[in-house]
Amino acid sequence: MIENPIIEHWEELGFTAVISWEGDDPAAIDFKLYKITDIWNGNPVWERLDKDCYNTNKLEEARVYLDGFIKWDGCSNWRFVQQTNVMLHFCSLKEMQNIGDVFTRCWTMTEDLLPKFEGDSGR
């Protein structure tokens, strides 16, 4: 059995993902993504939830950037939590493209984790 939740640091995309599901035969895979703001001593650092201090190295204290889920049929819902505070800000085309790459990574993880996945990958 795969450990639930899965925590992966997608440093090349600038995010940490917490991937979870309910039960032994889930209908959806849930994602919480945290924007990596820095790497300190080889470990990711994220924006702190309460902002008393800008950064934290404790995931439980970090601000969720994006959360959502992908269902067995490929339908998904996403909420940019960060957008409730301000417009989303990007400093480069690469940062904007990374958001699409994050969605792609979430999709492929759902394909791998849901045995009954019927989403259309367009491949």
Q: How far apart (Å, rounded) are the C-alpha atoms in residues 56 and 42?
A: 14
Mean per-residue pLDDT, 5-10: 94
pLDDT higher than 90, residue 17 = yes
119 domain-assigned? no
For residues 64-72, average pLDDT: 94
Higher pLDDT, 123 or 95: 95
How far apart, in whole angstroms, are the C-alpha atoms of residue 118 and residue 71? 9
Does residue 95 carry a pLDDT above 80? yes
Residue 104 forms part of a structural domain: yes
Q: Does a structural domain hold residue 123?
A: no
The count of structural domains within the chain is 1
User: What is the value of pTM for the model shown?
Assistant: 0.87
- Sign of the torsion angle spanned by Cα atoms 60, 65, 70, 76: positive
- Annotate 27-50 with b (16+ C-beta within 10 A) or e (fewer): ebbbbbbbbbbeeeeeebbbbbee
**Confidence (pLDDT) at 39:** 93
Range of the domain at 31: 6-113
